[in-house]
Structure 1
């Protein structure tokens, strides 16, 4: 039987000395081994996001792809609210094994070791793809925020292109981030979809939800 993990507070021992480590598999493998008994949610929880997610995902029968799921509670909370066809992917086998064990009682979900930049999924096979912080990790770069490095742009572009490929016509890519539009929008613009931006204010600090709807 799976047990309910504790929610992680900020543990300074898991923070990297260099933020570029957030973009490496090695960092996350080590961190998830340290956080074996906890969950951690970047930016927002499902409770915070539910009003906007409900607005943009109008059916609970859709097939959802959770990109870079980590040890977030988002998938489990959405499952309990009726979204029960969720494919969770992360390139860390450590966290995938942990989350698979924790959610044995939520049989509709699957957990797969997969790199978001090379998804082992068929074209047009997903209705909704959700990214909460994964693209942000790929964007941790030593370059100028106004002129990011070519390597960073390529990594981000690979994920976005893969999402575009696996989304069905009429599907949506939803990205939750603290990144402001003048820094983030450029990475999402594609001729194959329409882009909307929602703002979530949290006591003076803004978060954003980018919604790309495939034509």
Structure 2
């Protein structure tokens, strides 16, 4: 596998990160075996994930998987019920081919704001930077636009719907609590925050659905 580090894939306009067109073009222009992990690798996240995922038979949904190795690495570590979704057909096709014969792990083309799953289908939902792409906007970070609020609400509402009671939503971001918690707040859970890193901080938000 080839790690993606080229600045050629960085858009001139960061709002491109929230468009399907940008990701399709990016994945079409990259080698099929290219990988890229936002923020942290599985090895770095493993202690936190192990803390929240007690059973390796848990049904796990990874939102906006891209060409990250997260799903593969979790599979190699013994998790056997993983669904990876992305709205780029190209990257889903590439990942299916790259991962080959992995019984119990699936790759589906799907929008995170319109999940095609039944209510209470998953024990764990993971977002590693996908919501951050949705939040790329030219507006004031302190006063996000109504459009941005609606798009993020669409994701979180769908997560709540497909999570089982007792299931957890795990979200890794560079977004500080005063920018992210307003979007994550729901009556059915409490938000717990773990800070990662030293010079530059990342934030791991965990939310367990209580009802």
TM-score (norm 2): 0.97
Deviation, structure 1 residue 25: 0.1
- Structure 2: 5+ residue stretches without partners: none
Matched, 1:159 2:155: yes
Equivalent residue, structure 2, for 1:140: 136
Equivalent residue, structure 2, for 1:97: 93
The answer as to whether partners of 2:35 and 2:68 remain within 8 angstroms in 1 is yes
Distance 1:156 1:187 in 2: 7
Equivalent residue, structure 1, for 2:24: 29
TM-score (norm 1): 0.95
Deviation, structure 1 residue 28: 0.2
Distance 2:49 2:33 in 1: 28
Number of residues paired by the alignment? 209
Partner SS, residue 176 of structure 1: strand
Displaced runs of 4+ in structure 1, greater than 2 A?
none
Distance 1:108 1:124 in 2: 19
Which of 161, 165, 173 aligns to 1:177? It is 173
Equivalent residue, structure 2, for 1:51: 47
How big is the alpha-carbon RMSD for the aligned residues of Structure 1 and Structure 2? 0.8
Where in structure 2 are the equivalents of 1:1-215 lying within 5 Å?
A: 5-9=1-5, 11-35=6-30, 36-201=32-197, 203-215=198-210
User: Could you give the per-residue CA deviations for residues 72-99 of structure 1, whole angstroms, max 9, x where no partner exists?
Assistant: 0000000000111000110000000000
Distance 1:95 1:109 in 2: 15
Deviation, structure 1 residue 37: 2.8
Distance 1:34 1:40 in 2: 14
- Structure 1: 5+ residue stretches without partners: none
